Amino acid sequence: MTLHAFWGQSWGNGRRFAPVYLEFFPQMALTDTACKNAKCDPAKPRTRFADAGGLYLEVVSTGGKHWYWKYRFGGKEKRIALGAYPGVPLAKARRDRDAARDVLKAGSDPVQAKKEAKEAHVRAAGNTFELLARQWHTGWKDAHSERHADYVLRRLELDAFPVIGNMPIRDVTAHDLVRMARKIEARGARDIAQRVWQSCGQVFEYAATVVDEAGEQMVSRNPSKDLRPSVALKPRKKTHYARVESKEMPELLRKIEAYAGGPATRLAMKLMALTFVRTGELIGARWDEFDLEAEEWRIPAERMKMKTPHIVPLSKQALEVLAAIHELRGLSGLLFQGERDHEKPMSNGTILGALKRMGYAGRMTGHGFRGVASTILHELGHRHDIIELQLAHQERDEVSAAYNFATYLPQRRKMMQQWADHLDQLRAGAKILPFKAA
């Protein structure tokens, strides 16, 4: 067997083309002995041994031997894998070649036909990623809010199932998850790509507890753990949320008080300043999360960034704002309803838009209240660990989460009331005295 290279040959129009390597196969049909003795050329990563009618045995440098049939479809040269030798002997490889040729004669692409047949078999066997994912979701959703459960399923349906849904779950690799995640990232939704990756990981963990008809685990390992999504995706540029300086807060607070836009937006900004929760946590707030007698706002884990419950002690000023919001409420369970659909929360950009109209475009965001609160509370002498707990910055594991979310609650109550009193003083322009820690 020889290998020839043609360099810079010319076509009739005078153009030259790139180097082309053509491998010539011997014209004699293979025998069982030839297949058994076939070895890869040491100088090449793979060597092909031709049989007849486009069938050939490919031997790779590592010793593996695989059958392929070469054909043309739609004007393009293609090949179909027919199995590994000696598991697929010469006689069966020829029969499979003939069967694929019949599919081609019928006008179909043998590769596509094989793929569709495999998918149909997998669906019938009930072990595709999509089927296992739906089984997982049916049990998982009972422990989560209906809204969050619907969101997770919708993300799987839109982003995961089109890429890996029809694959046997055993065959899904980290590379397939990377393909899926990068497709989501390509439309500018990097955060969603990470969330879908995490949901897929939970599906694999569930599948490890399920056995097939033969009594074997659906999966023995979780490919989502082979690679972190942060490695597969483009690095995230660190975001520094715009926020005013501490000395600018009095003017901002007075402008919020005099805001001429919708009353719900004005009250939302006031509550955000008093509680310094994240924007998503504020606009998604529901009345059943508030215990007004205990003067607490308990945000459930599924609505928190760290996925653990969070307590916001309510100052007297915050309770007054809640009373004003309650007078505006409709039939929805949400504090801040959307303008058109009252079953959906206020838009994420409502507060940002209000701040822009007040002259703070590029200078302040809803998230900026958190940074300002952290800075001022530190300046007033409050303890760093208590401030961080109230900001819900600490990551907490499952064992300690139930304890930590209520840690230092008496101290946090005192701090939140002093924070609200401090905002009143800032708004009124009174002289501020630093807090003296005990």
Q: What's the burial of 171, exposed, middle or buried (CB within 10 Å: 0-12/13-18/19+)?
A: middle
Strand partners, 20: 6
Q: Which of 40-44, 60-64, 67-71, 279-283 has the lowest mean pLDDT?
A: 60-64
Question: What pLDDT is attached to residue 228?
Answer: 82
With respect to CATH, is domain 126-232 assigned 1.10.150.130?
A: yes
Residue 430 has pLDDT above 70, yes or no: no
Please pick, among 305, 316, 326, 384, the residue that the annotation labels catalytic. Answer: 305
Contact of 361 with 367, CB cutoff 8 Å = no
If pLDDT is split at 50, 70 and 90, which confidence band does 217 have? confident
- Residue 56, helix vs strand vs coil: strand
20-108 in CATH: which number? 3.30.160.390
Please pick, among 97, 190, 266, 367, the residue that the annotation labels catalytic. Answer: 367
Topology of the domain comprising 246-428: hpI Integrase; Chain A (1.10.443)
Q: Which of 11-25, 146-160, 281-295 has the lowest mean pLDDT?
A: 11-25
Sketch the domain layout of the chain as residue ranges: 20-108, 126-232, 246-428
Please pick, among 36, 326, 378, 393, the residue that the annotation labels catalytic. Answer: 393
- Is 144 an annotated catalytic residue? no
Strand partners, 50: 56
Question: What pLDDT is attached to residue 438?
Answer: 37
| pLDDT one-digit tens code per residue, 337-391 | 887 777 788 888 899 999 999 999 889 998 899 999 999 998 888 888 889 899 9
d(CA 320, CA 316) in angstroms, rounded, equals: 6
Question: What pLDDT is attached to residue 395?
Answer: 47
If pLDDT is split at 50, 70 and 90, which confidence band does 236 have? low
- Is 240 an annotated catalytic residue? no
Q: What's the burial of 70, exposed, middle or buried (CB within 10 Å: 0-12/13-18/19+)?
A: middle
Mean pLDDT of 275-286: 93
Please pick, among 137, 270, 278, 382, the residue that the annotation labels catalytic. Answer: 278
- Is 4 an annotated catalytic residue? no
Mean pLDDT of 309-325: 94
Question: What pLDDT is attached to residue 9?
Answer: 37
d(CA 189, CA 228) in angstroms, rounded, equals: 17
d(CA 30, CA 330) in angstroms, rounded, equals: 81
| pLDDT one-digit tens code per residue, 80-120 | 999 989 989 999 999 999 999 999 999 999 999 888 877 66
Handedness of CA 304, 309, 315, 318 (dihedral sign): positive
Residue 153: its H or E element: helix 146-155
In the numeric block, which tokens belong to residue 201? 């990981």
The residue among 51 and 144 whose pLDDT is bigger is: 51
Mean pLDDT of 267-291: 94
Contact of 434 with 379, CB cutoff 8 Å = yes
